[in-house]
Amino acid sequence: MDKREPRQPDACCEEPDLSALEGVVAPEQRNDPRALCALLTHASPRVRIAAAIGLGTLGDRRYANDIAELLHDRCDRVIKEAERALACLWLRCAGCPAARSLLEGVGRAQRGDLDGALDAIDAAIEIRPDYAEAHNQRGIVLSLMDDPRRALEAYAGAIEIEPQHFWALAGAGNCHAALGDADAAIAMHRRALTVHPRFELSLEAMRQLLSAGLAEISEAHR
């Protein structure tokens, strides 16, 4: 069962450090998402990182796929910062009222108030039904409440809105595993790894699922 702590999304939404863009783009373009997007393929890892961070803070959902391409980067630091940038983007894209309600829910979950967390997250979804990150956090809370069926529905909602949401894909995989469907679990984790090949949560889950499957085959042939 998925026992991840709910992430605190606002931790990745600090003022972006775009100093690496000095001399690369004009100062007035550093706050232009289109200009930042064009720099995601720059030869310098520092520039790619700054562009991803800037887009995570200044961009909207239209840029999620572009940032997600950096999850395949050859530089580990670029991958890490792209992951943080996507988390920030997915939080911000719903606007302030829904995001505030979601943050309240995450905070309550971290304090152990899972019922209160669910109420606050549901309020965020009521404000913005297309808020993928709220559906994802709802899945995490329901997982912590040992309710994999409802958690799976929540993760499915996030994935429908944001197909590249590797956290939700992995969460759905863990729910399938908790429900005893190893094949579906493996399929969802493979989808997560297609988006984020180095996503440790899914890599570890795949190792465990495949190891368990081999053990069952060995036992069946004894």
Least confident of 30-34, 127-131, 155-159, 187-191: 30-34
* Gap between the Cα atoms of 74 and 107, Å rounded: 34
Instruction: Summarize pLDDT for 141-199 with one digit per residue, the tens.
Output: 999 999 999 999 999 999 999 999 999 999 999 999 999 999 999 999 999 999 999 99
Task: Report whether 188 contacts 199 (CB < 8 A).
Answer: no
Give the pLDDT of residue 23.
62
Q: Could you write out the DSSP letters of every residue in 43-80? A: S-HHHHHHHHHHHHHH--GGGHHHHHGGGG-S-HHHHH
Question: What domains sit in the chain, N to C, each tagged with a CATH number?
Answer: 9-92 (1.25.10), 96-220 (1.25.40.10)
Name, in order, each residue with C-beta under 8 angstroms of 81's C-beta and a sequence gap of 6 or more: 49, 52, 53, 70
The strand pairing partners of 22, in sequence order, are 25
Using an 8 Å Cβ cutoff, are 51 and 36 in contact? yes
CA nearest neighbour of 133 among 97, 164, 91, 104:
91
The percentage of the chain sitting over the pLDDT mark of 90, rounded to a whole number, equals: 72
